[in-house]
Structure 1
């Protein structure tokens, strides 16, 4: 088992993608700390792992506060003797357009996704450095954080911020041998289940059938299990040389996202005045960058 003897914390792992990550880490030999805000859900997740012969315990607490982060690390140490892997998956949604988004809508999403990732990684990295453990930090991003999405100001900001933090942590933790990466999953979730475009794929998944090739191949859209293998790989010794990356996965597709780079550069003696920009901006930079996800038309046989 590739992760035998390793110990992992997976936040937001009571159900969905987080549970799939925790189960795959356990399948590969790691002992796992499950985290959820609902005790029954957390207990069921633990049971799914222990019934399969794995080792798991639960921490029932909301991600975001420093106290929860420290409790997660301490539980791993108390239950299994150490901590090697942290997967920050916990999150919530409060979708609405900018002019209707309340302070609470914004703060709640930022608090769980962005602050929660920060506090948990800080606690885990502090422990790993103090104990000379070449650990693995795996943070969950989203295509929304890479491209933007209508009605998700808070979520886009949080997910973009997570990738920015990961790049910084890769630099700061390199000397300690700790890697930090972001995974950008595309999979059937409670959110995508409500989107008509994905109806045929979600319907197939709910029936236990294979998703149509259009979704798996063309869109890179699949199941939670399609993502879980990458999580386990990045947690393993085989990925020791991979850090600071944003890696997309879903269905049959694996992607390496680029870091932001300048796509056009132009110079003008004396600098760029207002008048110069009015006259020459388009000619200087060329085509503008697109925003948002772009999906091809659904084949007729997959339309619902």
Structure 2
């Protein structure tokens, strides 16, 4: 099933994951608006898509402002006559522990990831609802938004917020035939290149070598191209019945994340007083306390040197 005749916007598409998404959508037949803040990278991305026989135009601007969202939609419609798919991928990092994080660190990440997703989706949905032909909203999440990561208060808040918005949008947009899903990629990118644990995998990807099976299979960690197929699938008619989901992908692994549910439910006549909690917690609740952060298996010996 191709994407012939479809038109997509991909934010943050100048390089890395966003570029892989834009290239795969174009390869499947979609015309693509390539957005990024780096004019040179955006021009190179458009040229690469066109050189491969695809259709693409550039739109250089930072996401977050409503004006950017409006320009993205108008660029798609003016250039290709319609709009069908939005992929909100643009992002930045300002990592530091809570007590060292500045207001600017927090606001910058929230503005690009969370507000940028909100404004771009809002403008896209206004167009899609008026057009009356349905559509696809694909927002990029992160394991950090699902589990938490040391030093990423701002990023965790933004990515968890995106998941909450997508679940709400799935409810609001159902009657209009517009799906909304979150993709949680795990891949070798500029963001993961700084994590020592993934060093051997990132090095292999940079050298054009096959990524070791330990990373691809055990960790679900792969290349940007490994994620792109899911993006194209969710943008297609084959995914018309899939909405409100959080789907993790990386390497050889695909995961359908659960929505939060109560791990334990208990009742106490008259309510839960301090004394009642002191008595009941060890036997009724302590065994179900949830873990935080991602837990990785020990690196095999052959990869430890790269991580040191």
- TM-score, normalised relative to structure 2: 0.98
Q: Secondary structure at the match of 1:87?
A: strand
Match of residue 194 from structure 2: 194
Which residue of structure 1 aligns with residue 11 of structure 2?
A: 11
Secondary structure of residue in 2 paired with 1:184? strand
Q: Deviations over 1:230-266 (max 9, x none)?
A: 0000000000000000000000000000000001111
Q: Distance in 2 between matches of 1:73 and 1:129?
A: 13
Does 1:63 find its partner at 2:67? no
In 1: Cα distance, 2:213 partner to 2:241 partner: 33
Cα distance in 2 for residues equivalent to 1:149 and 1:110: 16
Q: Decide which moves more: 268-277 or 181-190.
A: 268-277
CA distance in 2, matches of 1:298, 1:80: 48
For residue 103 of structure 1, report the CA deviation from its aligned partner.
Answer: 0.3
Taking the aligned partners of 2:243 and 2:293, their CA distance within structure 1 comes to: 26
RMSD, aligned α-carbons: 0.7
Deviation at 1:282, TM superposition (A): 2.7
CA-to-partner distance for each residue in 1:10-35, whole Å, 9 max, x for gaps? 00000000000000000000000000
Residue of structure 2 in register with 1:109 after alignment: 109
- Number of residue pairs matched by the alignment: 304
Q: Residue 224 of structure 1 corresponds to which residue in structure 2?
A: 224
Rounded Cα–Cα distance in structure 1 between residues aligned with 2:179 and 2:109? 26
8 Å contact kept, 2:8–2:86: yes
Structure 1 consecutive aligned stretches of length 4 or more whose deviation exceeds 3 Å: none
The residue number in structure 2 matching 1:122 is: 122
Deviates more, 1:81-90 or 1:281-290: 281-290
Question: Which residue number corresponds to residue 287 of structure 1?
Answer: 288
How many angstroms apart in 2 are the aligned matches of 1:206 and 1:240? Answer: 36
The reply on whether 1:260 has 2:233 as its aligned counterpart is no
Instruction: Please state whether the residue corresponding to 2:74 is helix, strand or coil.
Output: helix
- Alpha-carbon offset, residue 207 of structure 1: 1.2
Cα separation, 2, equivalents of 1:38 and 1:227: 22
Query: Corresponding residue for 1:213?
Result: 213
3-state DSSP class of the match of 2:292? coil
8 Å contact 1:265–1:284 — kept in the other structure? no
Deviation track 1:28-69 (CA, whole Å, cap 9, x = no partner) reads 000000001111111001001000000000110000000000
Unmatched tracts of structure 2, length 5 or more: none
Verify the 8 A CA contact 2:170 2:243 in the aligned structure 1. yes
Are 2:264 and 2:288, in contact at CA under 8 Å, matched by a contact in 1?
Answer: no
Q: Which residue does the alignment assign to 1:297?
A: 298
The answer on whether the counterparts of 2:263 and 2:288 sit within 8 Å (CA) in structure 1 is no
Give the conservation status (yes or no) of the 8 Å contact 1:12–1:36. yes
Q: Which residue of 1 aligns with 2:38?
A: 38
Residues of 1 paired with 2:266 and 2:222: CA distance? 42
